[in-house]
Chains A and B, each alone.
Chain A
Amino acid sequence: MISSSAKIPSPARRIAYCGVFAAAAMIVSYLESFIPVGQLIGVPGLKLGLANILVAVAYFSLGASYAASVSLVRIVISSLLFGSVTSFVFSLFGGILSFTVLFLLGGQYKKSIGLIGISVLSAAAHNTGQILAASLVMSEISVFIYLPVLLIFSVPCGGITGTVAEITLSLITGSRKNKGNG
């Protein structure tokens, strides 16, 4: 998918990749709706957050603004196609908070934190954002009682997505730097 050219992609290429990432993010979130992880393990509303893999990979391979576009495009189009106004607000809050984590910690990547830590925090932020959205929609703080459970499950979910993102990213950057190695 990504060429083995040794150069950093040009802006035009980045925008093209950005579109590919956004499309892939939409596909994985659509596929994810067929794998009701939350229902299977008795934690309603819990998602693996597979789209976050694409956002994180876009962040570290294309840049912050491209990753933000990937996330926003996915949220807007997914909500238009499959969601409601409420689900759009939920996704937007989750997306903004999880992207904030990525933005704040991106500079520390491979210095003091890996994609597992970043993804765990992103997942936690995503869930917090969704609970916050629910509490604002209903003007009711009680929804936060469900947050602790979602936070605990952010750890395995973020661990999985972070690991997949790390592998994907090393394949992309590896193939770019080492001419197809890895």
Chain B
Amino acid sequence: MRTKKTGQKKTVFYIGDIISVAGVLLLSFLVWSLFFLSGKGDGETVVVIEGGSKTVSEYDLGHDGVYQITSSNGHILTLEINDGNVSVTSSTCDNGYCVGMGKINGTGETIVCAPAKIKIKIVSDGEVGQNDFIVG
């Protein structure tokens, strides 16, 4: 019962295939625009939080540098601060989503690494240390 369009082709495209591709691309654009439209502030400090609440290190967003973060469960992330942009340039975690998340530069923006349970967040100076008390 396979449909044949021409003699040499076994596979045929259905309308649903085209809708699927268009739908996935549209969803991609919608999710991207949600993040693109969200506002940005001027943070000054980069905090590294482990396990949801424990601040393990802090860096000045104004100072360029490359730092190594080692999580309790042994994952190693390379954190780069360059011209006000923060990114994870390499990671030993399973999926590398933290690297894929790219650069952040505004207050409240985060890069997370679920396998390492690490959260990297840009905060304004007044907020530094707050995460010691907030769980989650």
Residues facing B in A128-176 (CB within 8 A) are 130-131, 133-135, 137-140, 142-152, 154-155, 163, 166-167, 170, 174
Complex: A112 Cα to B16 Cα, angstroms: 5
Q: Is B11 touching A166 in the complex (CB atoms < 8 A)?
A: yes
Residues facing A in B30-63 (CB within 8 A) are 31-32, 34-35, 52
Which residues of chain A come closer than 8 Å to B94, judged between CB atoms? 83-84, 86-87, 90
> From DSSP, what is the main secondary structure of chain B's interface residues?
mixed
Binary interface encoding of chain A residues 96-109 relative to chain B, with 1 for a CB under 8 A from any of its CBs, else 0 = 00000000010010
> From DSSP, what is the main secondary structure of chain A's interface residues?
helix
Q: Is B20 touching A138 in the complex (CB atoms < 8 A)?
A: no
Q: Is B17 touching A116 in the complex (CB atoms < 8 A)?
A: yes
B6 at the interface (CB under 8 A from A): no
Partner of B20, one of A83, A121, A143: A121
With A86-B94, A118-B20, A133-B114 given, name 17 new contacts (CB 8 A): A38-B96, A44-B99, A86-B115, A90-B114, A110-B3, A113-B17, A116-B17, A117-B16, A117-B17, A118-B16, A131-B97, A143-B112, A144-B35, A146-B102, A148-B29, A149-B28, A151-B31
B residues sitting closer than 8 Å to A (CB atoms) are 1-3, 10-21, 23-25, 27-29, 31-32, 34-35, 52, 91, 94-97, 99-102, 109-112, 114-115, 117, 119, 136
A residues sitting closer than 8 Å to B (CB atoms) are 38-39, 43-45, 83-84, 86-87, 90, 105, 108, 110-114, 116-118, 120-121, 124, 130-131, 133-135, 137-140, 142-152, 154-155, 163, 166-167, 170, 174
